[in-house]
Copies of this chain bind each other. A is one copy, B any other.
């Protein structure tokens, strides 16, 4: 499959786009990377994803596919090497469930925690830790969520090991307490040391600058709006 066939419209610090990048790399699919300016959206992005106008968009043979979880399913169905989802329907459902649940419960809480302070932040951190507790049960005693190898759920939750610590630093908060979450803490190290992951992470210093500016821009809009 030549690189002319596959394009990824991405944004360097998007955890959603990064999932797609990891999936393509794990499968050894060559692709052309196209950096999008999400603050001044290109006509290409608006044409490829007119409904949500968001990255990532995967373009394969001129056909665009949007929404990172849907793209992961597409990639797994299109390129059979290195299967991402488990084989058995029940385990597949289980992986999809935790991917969606972490997105809904943990990512939103962690993000709001970063953007707020005071009671709002305290509530967000509490909600994030409660979600983390459930994920801890899932990873306890395993190297990866996928077992011995990185799989769909590892990729789906792959923002936790690298994005969360940056958000914690920017928001002056702590969500991942190593003593409370030993399974997640061990998995974070395993995940970040995987050769495909290690070589495709954005520079931490740039992330700090970027998320400090996001916190500043967004902090007022969250005040009192989100209840956990």
Contact = CB atoms under 8 A, between A and B. Distances in A.
A38 interface: no
B70 A90 contact: no
A105 B92 CA distance: 26
B101 A74 contact: no
Nearest to A96: B70
B67 A78 contact: no
Contact of A65 (B66, B71, B90): B90
Contact of A77 (B66, B71, B89): B89
Contacts of A101: 51-52
Interface residues on A, range: 20 to 34
A1 to B, nearest CB: 14
A44 interface: no
A35 to B, nearest CB: 23
Given A51-B101, A51-B134, A52-B101, A92 B67 contact: no
Contacts of A100: 67, 70
Interface string A121-162: 000000000000010000000000000000000000000000
Contact of A73 (B93, B105, B225): B93
A216 interface: no
B52 A74 contact: no
Interface in A60-93: 60, 63, 65-67, 70-71, 73-74, 77-78, 89-90, 92-93
Contact of A63 (B60, B66, B90, B92): B90
The 10 closest A-B pairs by CB, nearest first: A77-B89, A74-B93, A65-B93, A78-B89, A70-B96, A74-B89, A70-B93, A63-B90, A70-B97, A51-B101
